Structure 1
Amino acid sequence: MGLIGGIFTALFGARRNAVVETVEAFRENAEGRAERASDHREAVLAQFAAEMAQARRGRWDRFIDGLNRLPRPAMAFGTLGLIGAAMADPAWFAARMEGLALVPEPLWWLMGAIVSFYFGARMQVTGQGYEREMIAALARMRARRPEPVPREAPQPRIARANEPNAALEDWRRTQA
């Protein structure tokens, strides 16, 4: 009755399932997919919770945070305002653009560097925070995942000193 099971155990080991391993080569394991999806949802919810949790801060900190949020909207609305001004009063707009044309090139380079460093520093801080959160989430997921059970390696057969060695005997016959 257990002949086929015994054959599979002899070929693949006691803790392996050859049918499941063969099918998984062609089709994703549904249980594994559900576990990965659950881990992903849990990590997303943890990230949202961390983003929404804010420490109590004073008026000065809130004022500075408000100032830090102004440059990007000011640049966007300023650009839209310039487009509107160009359409409403082209002569006024042309006079302002002639004034900008008189600004020396080193001043433009300096302004570009200031804007680049401002936005680059904000991007770097945001990116580093994201990387730290992802590393922590991966560490939590690895801590929850059980370690795989190692397969037992077959033990090599060790020849005894008094046993005949067929390969050695064959070699001796060819040498004689």
Structure 2
Amino acid sequence: MGLIGQIMGLVFGSGRNVVAETAEVFRVNAEAQAGREAGLQSAALQQFGQEFCLTQRGGFDRFMDALNRIPRPAMALGTLAMFVAAMVDPIWFAARMTGIALVPEPLWWLLGAIVSFYFGARFQSKGQDFQRDLVVGLSTVPQVVRTIGDIESLREVSPRPESPAILSEDDVFQGDNPALAEWRGLRH
């Protein structure tokens, strides 16, 4: 066993693994790499924990976080409020939309740039389409006003007290229709 032990000691070294050490020259030791990555991840999590710790945040940080949460819900609720306003008081709504139509185009571009930085570049092209659709929608305002006027005029019409609530057959079948007259004669 002495000769085999000497050959093995020559190949693998005395107490060392020469094959593993040689392989690490060409390939990273996976176990050691996993240990290094775990240490790096632990250090990063510890740094994030210190940076975003809730006990270290001041009043200004909390105020700014709250302020940053307002625009999206405000825009969504404002849009819904515009729909409600259009149904409740169309004349008031039409006056406001006419005022919006008078806003100069460079101001629309400025608003579009500000909001696009906040919400993304997609808003800019959609905003221009919205402005074009708004002008088309405003062209229907006179028709809407006439329709609302017609509907409101129906409130002034009241039924005559002498008119019967239920129509009789004689009221329904007046006229020069011989087929209806024959049918009426068969029924009586």
Q: TM-score, normalised by structure 1?
A: 0.42
The structure showing larger relative contact order (alpha-carbon pairs under 8 Å, at least 6 residues apart) is 1
Q: TM-score, normalised by structure 2?
A: 0.40
- State which structure, 1 or 2, has the greater radius of gyration over its C-alpha atoms: 2
